[in-house]
Chain A
Amino acid sequence: MMNVESLTVIGGHNKHGDAENIHLRLFAGTVTAVTGPTGSGKSRLLSDIECLAQFDTPTGRGILVNDAPADDRDRFGFDGKLVAQLSQNMNFVTDLTVGEFLAMHAESRRSEEDGLISAVFKCANNLAGEKFTLDTKVTQLSGGQSRALMIADCALMSNSPIVLIDEIENAGVDRRKAIALLTRSEKIVLVSTHDPLLALGADMRIVIKNGGIYRVMETSEEEKNALSEIEMIDALMSEVRGRIRRGERVEYELLRVIQRADTRYFA
């Protein structure tokens, strides 16, 4: 698989034919959020990237890889492996254990790397709320465990340099750890999301409106600072959720913790 250091999005036009006037470079190891109302055209952007649009798709966008246009041989040459995708709708359908499944994936990559399977396994368990074993059937994993295994596998075993993520929920998997893992693997990560934590945790966000790129916003210092407080609100919500699950009471004291911005409480 080729080494992809940068991806350039050259603007086309929106549904009304207005030019996007965009020349945007995304680098390996960075996260870009794609936001916008449902049906605004987020998937279109991801699909332009997937097929390395050369000003020939309905949006008129161009995608450059390492600053160079892609010819037809490049566009067909990757067997769909340039871009890995992760979405909430995905499931494991193969009747194998986690261990067998990872071995099968490693074989398809002709991977000789020792320890790769156990690395993926450990990493997935680290992301998942509840632990699982190598003998668990992949079809019997919970939603969170499945997502954790898919993300770990995508980061460590799949060699696609670009990862497109479509809205991962927080349930049972640590999203921020997951995204950090993907960027550490030097991938170019795009996350289509409505989640403020994921959007503000990204380096940049692309806002889509009427089928076109409406704004490109770098995450500001103020937003980065606000993020830690928003994370606390999120932690409060998980704490409340946890207490209800465990059959415990939700006390007012919990809400006051936020006002005192006492992060140690949740540590």
Chain B
Amino acid sequence: MSNEAKDLLGNVLTADERELLELYTRLKAMSARDDLPPVATANVKQAMVMLWNACNDLAIVHEEPGCD
């Protein structure tokens, strides 16, 4: 991930914001997998949604919220 990632206002992300975005990106990728046991998939999705909420509120991402 580039250190020059920016938020919706064009500001360079802080270290904490970069970490949030990285966590969200990893959880999103994991929650899209279909080879994990239900216990993993469902809980990863829940975690991914919470991270999306933080990233969305902080204007780090603005993705389609209906897409889980």
Q: Do A and B come from one complex?
A: no
B positions within 8 Å CB-CB of A: none
